């Protein structure tokens, strides 16, 4: 069995190193720049309007959908605020140096406009199921949008099918195994828990929740996400306040490393500028999922008459996830010098938090903050991603496929706990590209529809025809 896993890992690494990594680099950034200029920096100029929507200023209980703007946002955030913020940032810096954080910022900033684009289209092309619930996502705007606009139903169905299959694979990897692997690693490092016991217990808990569908998932997420985000941010902020004298130098290292690469030092894996870019963008994409096409599945369920509004709500996710939370994690790793520890994965972040909090008299507290923060982050991600995969299974095979998918999902929870960290993350990087590439192609092909939808909404707002 170990020989088979090693062989599979080698194939996956070859794909990531020579195909997937470069494909994402040369598609994600240019597509983001294209939409930034076509939409006139909407992610910045309409930021206040986006916040007002989330706050409920324009909510209407009579609108069709499953959840309100806030719950749609927290459901999507619960799927993105996860191990990427704790483990992913540490892996990016371990493999690409501090400069990788700069490329995570680039991914986050461009991600705001990509999230707006894909979630607006997802809401516009959503469909209602026989039980009144909503299904949406790239597979629907690919099939119904591209198929009709370009009179190419066969091409659209094939591309939508590829995306849906990739979504199921990504749900098992990105939203499941990577999260469980981080949880098992943290529990083993901090408390010595056996990986298979962790996997078994969490698999049972996940199945108990996900059978309740999007409404139960949204209820859990809307409670977990704000609490876990505030707790983690406050703890990290305490460390940064104590290490404030090192912050200017940390920024200097980040900007210098972004354009020069970082030489090998101690346990650190050396990198060139290209590797720094690739690892920053990979981990940035894993963190906020902008352009990947996952969040649109959750945002399609929002109660609103105007798709643009839900797109604006979605644009806030990379701001919170990558530009705020990931930045704080990265600065903590650099200012405490934990990135030179040679520790890979969650252990590096635990080391940084332990050092930082010990400096203000809270010795041995950091590992508990990281472990329980990661537990909440990752658990909420796991339950939210189960919804994404179930919508893809529904798209491909109908409603009868949802329950079997849930049981398969539970099995992969266990696999995530017992498989090694390298294989899990290599698998994650591979399946992310399988989702992202078809989705970016679809966004470009539907850019005209998106521009028309955007301009129409803001014209009505200006003329006060929209409440």
pLDDT tens, position by position, 113-151: 999 999 999 999 998 877 777 788 999 999 999 999 999
Backbone phi and psi for residue 58, each to the nearest 5 degrees, phi listed first: -110, 15
- What is the C-alpha to C-alpha distance for residues 119 and 370, in angstroms, rounded to an integer? 31
Closest Cα to residue 386, out of 194, 129, 211, 190?
A: 211
- pLDDT confidence band for 73 (50 / 70 / 90): low
User: 394-402: long-range contacts at Cβ-Cβ below 8 A with a sequence spacing of 24 or more?
Assistant: 394/129, 394/135, 395/135, 395/137, 395/139, 395/140, 395/160, 395/164, 396/161, 396/164, 396/165, 396/168, 399/129, 399/130
- pLDDT confidence band for 292 (50 / 70 / 90): confident
The length of the chain in residues reads 467
- pLDDT confidence band for 264 (50 / 70 / 90): very low
Q: What is the pLDDT of residue 145?
A: 94
Neighbours of 379 (CB within 10 A): 22
CA distances from 21 to 295, 323, 434, 465 (A): 21, 22, 11, 45
pLDDT at 267 exceeding the cut of 50 = no
- What is the C-alpha to C-alpha distance for residues 431 and 96, in angstroms, rounded to an integer? 21
Residues 6+ apart with CB under 8 A from 368: 190
Closest Cα to residue 255, out of 460, 97, 445?
A: 97
Closest Cα to residue 315, out of 10, 20, 109, 99?
A: 109
- Of 28-37, 59-68, 145-154, 329-338, the poorest mean pLDDT is in 59-68
Render pLDDT for 333-354 as a digit per residue (tens, 0 to 9).
Answer: 999 998 888 887 778 888 899 8
Average pLDDT over residues 20-31: 84
Contact 356, 242 (CB under 8 A): yes
- pLDDT confidence band for 1 (50 / 70 / 90): low
Render pLDDT for 418-459 as a digit per residue (tens, 0 to 9).
Answer: 877 677 778 888 888 899 999 999 999 999 999 999 999 999
- What is the C-alpha to C-alpha distance for residues 185 and 191, in angstroms, rounded to an integer? 10
Contact 324, 62 (CB under 8 A): no
CA distances from 126 to 137, 139, 143, 346, 440 (A): 7, 10, 11, 38, 18
pLDDT greater at residue 346 or residue 52: 52
Render pLDDT for 160-171 as a digit per residue (tens, 0 to 9).
Answer: 999 999 999 999
Give the tokens for residue 82: 């996860």
- What is the C-alpha to C-alpha distance for residues 126 and 129, in angstroms, rounded to an integer? 10
- pLDDT confidence band for 68 (50 / 70 / 90): low
pLDDT greater at residue 395 or residue 265: 395
Average pLDDT over residues 75-80: 62
- pLDDT confidence band for 281 (50 / 70 / 90): confident
Q: What is the pLDDT of residue 182?
A: 82
Q: What is the pLDDT of residue 99?
A: 87
Q: What is the pLDDT of residue 313?
A: 87
Average pLDDT of the residues of the chain? 83
pLDDT at 284 exceeding the cut of 80 = no
- What is the C-alpha to C-alpha distance for residues 387 and 152, in angstroms, rounded to an integer? 29
pLDDT at 194 exceeding the cut of 90 = no
Neighbours of 13 (CB within 10 A): 15
- Percent of the chain's residues with pLDDT above 90: 28
Domains of the chain: 14-57+65-462 (1.20.1730)
Q: Are strands 134-135 and 127-128 parallel, antiparallel or unpaired?
A: antiparallel
Q: What is the pLDDT of residue 216?
A: 61
């Amino acid at each position: 069995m170990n020989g088979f896993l090693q062989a599979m890992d080698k194939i996956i690494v070859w794909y990531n190193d020579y195909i997937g990594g470069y494909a994402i680099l040369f598609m994600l950034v240019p597509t983001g720049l294209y939409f930034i200029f076509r939409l006139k920096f909407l992610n910045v100029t309409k930021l206040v309007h986006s916040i007002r929507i989330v706050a409920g200023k324009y909510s209407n209980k009579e609108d069709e959908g499953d959840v309100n703007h806030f719950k749609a946002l927290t459901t999507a955030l619960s799927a993105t605020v996860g191990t990427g913020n704790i483990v992913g940032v540490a892996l990016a810096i371990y493999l690409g140096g501090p400069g990788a954080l700069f490329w995570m910022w680039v991914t986050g900033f461009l991600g705001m406009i990509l999230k707006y684009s894909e979630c607006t289209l997802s809401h516009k092309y959503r469909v209602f199921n026989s039980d009144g619930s909503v299904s949406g996502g790239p597979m629907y705007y690919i099939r119904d949008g591209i198929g009709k606009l370009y009179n190419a139903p066969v091409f659209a169905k094939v591309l939508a099918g590829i995306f849906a299959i990739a979504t199921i694979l990504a749900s098992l990897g990105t939203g499941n195994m990577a999260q469980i692997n981080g949880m098992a690693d943290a529990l083993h490092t901090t408390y010595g828990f056996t990986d298979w016991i962790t996997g078994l217990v969490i698999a049972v808990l996940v199945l108990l929740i996900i059978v309740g569908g999007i409404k139960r998932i949204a209820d859990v997420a809307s409670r977990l996400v704000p609490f876990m985000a505030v707790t983690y941010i406050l703890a990290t902020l305490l460390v940064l306040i104590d290490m404030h004298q090192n912050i200017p130098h940390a920024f200097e290292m980040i900007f210098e490393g972004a354009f020069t690469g970082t030489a090998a030092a101690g346990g650190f894996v050396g990198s060139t500028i290209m590797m720094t870019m690739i690892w920053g963008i990979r981990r940035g994409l894993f963190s906020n999922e902008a352009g990947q096409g996952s969040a649109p599945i959750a945002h399609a369920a929002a109660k609103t008459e105007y798709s643009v509004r839900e797109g604006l709500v979605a644009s806030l996710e990379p701001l919170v996830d990558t530009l705020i939370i990931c930045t704080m994690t990265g600065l903590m790793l650099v200012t405490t010098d934990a990135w030179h520890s040679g520790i890979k994965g969650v252990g590096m972040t635990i080391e940084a938090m332990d050092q930082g909090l010990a400096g203000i008299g809270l010795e041995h507290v950091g590992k508990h903050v990281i472990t329980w923060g990661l537990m909440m982050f990752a658990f909420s991600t796991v339950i939210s991603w189960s919804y994404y995969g179930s919508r893809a299974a529904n798209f491909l095979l109908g409603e009868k496929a949802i329950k079997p998918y849930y049981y398969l999902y539970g099995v992969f929870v266990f696999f995530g706990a017992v498989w090694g960290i390298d294989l899990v993350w290599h698998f994650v990087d591979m399946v992310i590209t399988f989702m992202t590439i078809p989705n970016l192609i679809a966004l470009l092909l539907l850019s005209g529809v998106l521009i028309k939808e955007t301009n129409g909404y803001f014209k009505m707002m200006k003329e006060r025809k929209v409440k």
